[in-house]
Amino acid sequence: MCGLLGLVSADVAVPPASIDRVHAALTCQRHRGPDESGVWTEPGAPGGEPPHGRVVFGFNRLSIIDIGHSHQPLTWGPEDDPERYTLTFNGEIYNYLELRAELEREHGAVFRTEGDTESIVAAYHYWGPAAVERLRGMFAFAIWDSREQTMFLARDPFGIKPLFYATGPHGTAFSSEKKSLIELSDVLGIDLGLDPRATEHYMVLQYVPEPETLHAQIRRLESGTYATVRPGGEVQPHRYFAPRFPVRPVTPGAGTGPGSAAARHREIAEALEDSVAKHMRADVTVGSFLSGGIDSTAIAALAMRHNPDLITFTTGFEREGYSEVDVAAESAAAIGARHVVKVVSPAEFAAAIPEIIWYLDDPVADPALVPLYFVAREARKHVKVVLSGEGADELFGGYTIYREPLSLKPFERLPRPLRRGAGRLSERIPDGVRGKSLLHRGSMTLEDRYYGNARSFSDAQLRSVLRGFRQEWTHQDVTAPIYDVSRGWDPVARMQHLDLFTWLRGDILVKADKITMANSLELRVPFLDRAVFEVAQTLPLDQKITRQTTKFALRRALEGIVPPHVLHRAKLGFPVPLRHWLAGTELYDWAHAVIAESGTDHIFDKAVAAQMLVDHRAGVADNSRRLWTILAFMIWHGIFVEERIRPRIDEPAYPVEV
């Protein structure tokens, strides 16, 4: 787990001043790799001028595998051209041992280290771009082919690891952190103006959807995509992984043979156990996050089979109903793990927000970021790697809202005019009256009503507070192309598919990467494994959602692995008492000051935002999530645009081995 940075110059050589700037820009992501740093510059022609070539790589390393070697940037090539390729890589390849053995056996590949980095570049040499489909892991990497003068960029199937890029008249740069590209903006010749459409998308979705960022000329390489770029050219992306949900029906009856429900449950358990085993590969200690839910408990229980001394970590708040500390402690005791707890106070919560948003690069209006930050910081005192349960909900049907199609099924039988009439009727019903939401959502198509797990502002609400609101910029800019792919699938599969491209990679995985790496901690997510997905993607609807439960097949698969008190427990996660704190003494004055001091008058009607806070305190409406969306943006703007807010970012000081 590391931080990479690269520059492909449009000029005949990288100017010396640009090389110096790459060194400086690396410091923005020092937290991603405090163990060592390295910069490589392509050599020019022997004895020629200029002395440098067209490419410079920078790297910050967090040493996990082959600690004493596998330094980066790494140069590799076949015997006849041993310095053809140079690679910089962020992530982990969990099947690297198997890949190395195959490359040695089938192609005679020669490796100089014991790590996973060489397996990537060797695979690329022998298999070309198709190599990315053979990698089982989380990754973002760049390979410079000096013979072909081509840069190859790639990102893992689900988007676990980030990769930002920007192209200007002087070249293309790419990085694990957007802030490093901001530092190189004048080197590239790009403008740092904000993208108003991305801003509007953020206000609705609570995150900036890929490939956008809030800076119009900085983009993200999408999940499951590789790209090529030549000096002076544009980045050319190509999607290599497009998740599908081709249902494979379960054989009727209660048998245990092939095709039966019992057999499918065994397949899930076996795939997950194999994934956890491979995710435990490391030359340092691996721990596990543990909430009170089934997903993280399953990962921790399986990890205990490989490390009986496993340490688990959880966080919570001193407020009833907003902590899973007791359930997590009971789970840790049941599986025999040593357990560490961090309780977060309101004062700690507020003080950490600017620092957290600096690490994020773009705001994510999810208050669960804050407890995650504190539990990651606590975990880093004990381990260098943690496992976590992200991805289980999207793969196995875990979100409660996935049950909505069952409750709305009667509306599907109504003629379209009657459904529209139900919608008009809902508009006449006062807010808070039972049945209003059911009528409203039942009157809508799936494409209109579901755009992911985050829904912040309605058009009417956004129009009142966001200056320059554009009616034509809607969530459908993001969701329509995804829904087009899933026509004919059952509604739950369509919702899962949408979340893989929106909520998962826009919120869940952004905070998983950015917040753990803020603490120089590697987070691994065994559910988001190609082999686990291949089992999950074929589950029929009744193996995912029933009227009584979610993740039906997964729960059955984990019987005997997860303690009974967790197996059928409702999902809670790391809940935050934001509604109470914004209305009370804990955060009201803080929020009022953020709004008053923000230099975003050209973006927001700040009087409306301030009134939202007053109304929230008075109990007129629960504006907590909408307020949080505004507050996070205002703090981000204060850091990256106004440069008025300067979070204290300490130099990471962690040992190489833990």
Termini Cα distance of the chain: 15
Q: Which amino acid is at 171?
A: G
Statement: residue 47 has pLDDT above 70: no
Which phi and psi angles does 171 have, rounded to 5°?
145, -170
Q: What is the pTM of this model?
A: 0.95
Q: What is the pLDDT of residue 571?
A: 64
Summarised one tens digit per residue, pLDDT across range 462-484 is 999 999 898 889 888 999 999 99
Residue 530, SS3 per DSSP = helix
Helix (H, G, I), strand (E, B) or coil at 180: helix
Query: In whole angstroms, what is the distance from residue 410 CA to residue 421 CA?
Result: 15
**Average predicted confidence (pLDDT) for the chain:** 92
**583 vs 412, which has greater pLDDT?**
583
Q: Are strands 164-168 and 150-155 parallel, antiparallel or unpaired?
A: unpaired
Q: Which of 48-57, 402-411, 483-492, 647-656 has the lowest mean pLDDT?
A: 647-656
Of 68-72, 102-106, 212-216, 386-390, the one with minimum mean pLDDT is: 68-72
pLDDT of amino acid 652: 72
Average the pLDDT over 406-418 and give the result: 86
- Alpha-carbon distance 338 to 252, whole Å? 43
pLDDT tens-digit readout, 437-462: 888 888 888 998 999 877 788 888 89
Residue 388 assigned ligand-binding role: yes
pLDDT tens figures, 232-286: 999 999 999 999 998 877 777 667 777 889 999 999 999 999 999 999 999 899 9
Whole-number Å distance between alpha carbons of 207 and 509:
11
pLDDT at 656: 37
Q: Which residues pair with 443 in a beta bridge?
A: none
Residue 295 assigned ligand-binding role: no
- Side chain identity, residue 19: I
Residue pLDDT, tens place only, 487-503: 999 999 999 999 999 99
pLDDT at 188 over 90: yes
Query: What are the structure tokens assigned to 335, written together?
Result: 């599986």
> What pLDDT digit, counting tens, does each position of 339-375 carry?
999 999 999 999 999 999 999 999 999 999 999 999 9
Mean pLDDT of all residues in 387-392: 97
**Which token pair is 337?**
């793990």
Superfamily of domain 261-390+510-567 in the CATH hierarchy: HUPs (3.40.50.620)
The string over 394-413, giving b where at least 16 C-beta atoms fall within 10 Å of a residue's C-beta and e elsewhere, is bbbbbbeebbbbeebeebee
pLDDT at 175 over 50: yes
User: Which DSSP symbol is given to 222?
Assistant: P
List the Cα angle 154/156/158 in 5-degree steps: 140
Question: Containing H/E element for 85?
Answer: strand 85-93
One-letter identity of residue 563: P
pLDDT of residue 160: 98
The residues assigned a catalytic role are: 2
Q: Where are the domains of the chain?
A: 2-239, 261-390+510-567, 400-500, 578-640
Which pLDDT band, with edges at 50, 70 and 90, does 425 fall under? Answer: confident
CA atoms of 52 and 127, how far apart (whole Å): 29
Average pLDDT rounded to a whole number, residues 500-508: 96
Give the number of other Cβ atoms within 10 Å of residue 184's Cβ. 23
| The predicted structure's pLDDT at residue 253 | 67
Could you tell me what percent of the chain has a pLDDT over 70? 97
Of 393, 390, 389, whose CA–CA distance to 496 is shortest? Answer: 393
**Alpha helix locations (H) across 361-444?**
369-379, 392-396, 404-407, 409-412, 416-428, 436-442
pLDDT at 518: 96
Q: Was 389 annotated as part of a binding site? A: yes
Asked whether the predicted pLDDT for residue 48 surpasses 80, the reply is no
CATH architecture of 2-239: 4-Layer Sandwich (3.60)
Band of residue 658 on the pLDDT scale cut at 50, 70, 90? very low
* Phi, psi of 451, rounded to the nearest 5 degrees: -130, 40
- Hey, what amino acid is at 213? T
State whether the Cα torsion 276-277-278-280 is positive or negative.
positive
Parallel/antiparallel/unpaired status of strands 338-344 and 311-317: parallel
pLDDT of residue 178: 98
Name the β-bridge partners of 412: none
- Supply the pLDDT for residue 238: 98
Phi, psi of 365 (to 5 degrees): -85, 55
List Cβ neighbours of 295 (8 Å cut-off, separation of 6 or more).
389, 390, 392, 393, 398, 527
* Mean pLDDT of all residues in 102-114: 94
Distances (CA, A) of 544 to 262, 354, 531: 14, 39, 18
Helix ranges (DSSP H) in 60-162: 96-107, 117-127
pLDDT at residue number 460: 85
Measure the CA–CA gap between 559 and 564, rounded to whole angstroms: 8
Strand order in the sheet with 522-524: 338-344, 311-317, 286-289, 385-387, 522-524
For 156, the token pair is: 């893992």
Cβ-Cβ contacts under 8 Å for 379 (sequence gap 6 or more) = 287, 289, 311, 313, 340, 386, 519, 521
> Is the model's pLDDT at 173 over the cut of 50?
yes
Mean pLDDT of 203-225: 97
What lies within 8 Å, CB to CB, of 366 at 6+ separation is 206, 207, 454, 507, 511
